[in-house]
Amino acid sequence: MTTPTASSSADPTHAPVDLSHIAPRDKAEILSQALPYIRKFHGKTIIIKYGGNAMTEPALQQDFAEDVVLLKLVGLNPVVVHGGGPQIDSALSKLGKKGTFIQGMRVTDQETMDVVEWVLGGEVQQDIVGLINSAGGKAVGLTGFDGGMIRARKLKMQDKDNPEIEHDVGQVGDIVSIDPAVVKALQDDQFIPVVSPIGFGEGNVSYNINADVVAGKLAEVLGAEKLVLLTNTPGVLDKQGKLLTDLSARQIDDLFADGTISGGMLPKIASALDAARSGVNAVHIIDGRVPHAMLLEILTDQAYGTMIRAR
């Protein structure tokens, strides 16, 4: 991933948006509309799953970093959980190895796990930390090993069509518990935690955990106000390709049953629904390809994706 690091400047091709055509009164109105949301969410935790095009396109990377810093500066507590599928695939291909997936989960043997740890806990994480720091924030990278944060065990994956069949996906983890102490300590000191989805189990074995699942569980444990999942789609689409803007638990169960939600969307939607059922006030699946989509979703009355609610 070609991303500015902490020591580099922002992408020179990403110039600030020209607002000279907007009258001062209109600019003031735009800013004032954000005030109720800033007041409502002040001091609240926002978990952000960062992935997709927003994570690989330089202009969108810069937008994301600026949005995270702005949220922190106006009094919210953003926590970033990142993926890195394309970067892992690229690293594996250099080793002559191709990624394999079962029901949206990456099959992770020991060699693949070594690559996952190097890419997620090293390269990708430090790129994100550098972006946020360059935008004026104070980011700190974490994995599940830090502070004993994410305890995991080997995932037992049942076949979605035949529960009697169990797939072996290697060192893929199922979360046993999350200790958020290190995240809370960083938040209290005005840092922005950036979490790589790597957990540990018995014998200090490391596990690759789906980033959407980590984001959802962390949102539950921290009692987050919102869970925001950045994706490469406008949100959840029906079979005709129409955006579904507001979904209940029952509607999602129906979409699972008829195959509308499948593949890589399965763990994403399942973790979002679990978070909603466990007390997270709002879960949003939004299009990370839209500049500043996250900021628009959180601090305005515009909807940029699918909202999931327990009822």
Residue 208 annotated as binding site: yes
Instruction: Check if the beta carbon of residue 50 is closer than 8 Å to that of residue 128.
Output: yes
Give CA torsion, residues 109, 112, 113, 114, to 10 deg: 130
Cβ neighbour number for residue 189 with a 10 Å cutoff: 9
Nearest to 204 by CA among 159, 243, 153, 279: 153
What gap in Å lies between CA 237 and CA 98, rounded to an integer?
29
Instruction: Check if the beta carbon of residue 306 is closer than 8 Å to that of residue 243.
Output: yes
* Bridge partners, 306 (sequence order): 285
**What are the backbone dihedrals phi and psi of residue 36, each rounded to the nearest 5 degrees, phi first?**
-60, -35
Alpha helices in the chain (DSSP H): 24-41, 58-73, 85-94, 110-118, 125-134, 181-188, 211-222, 249-257, 265-277, 293-299
Name the one residue in this structure whose structure tokens are 């200790």: 179
Task: Tell me which amino acid residue 153 is.
Answer: R
| Distances in whole angstroms, Cα of residue 27 to Cα of each of 78, 159, 181, 251 | 25, 53, 40, 39
Residue 241 annotated as binding site: no
Q: How many CA atoms lie within 13 A of 112 on its CB side?
A: 20
Residue 153 annotated as binding site: no
Residue 141 annotated as binding site: no
Known binding-site positions: 84-85, 106, 208
Binding annotation for substrate: 84-85, 106, 208
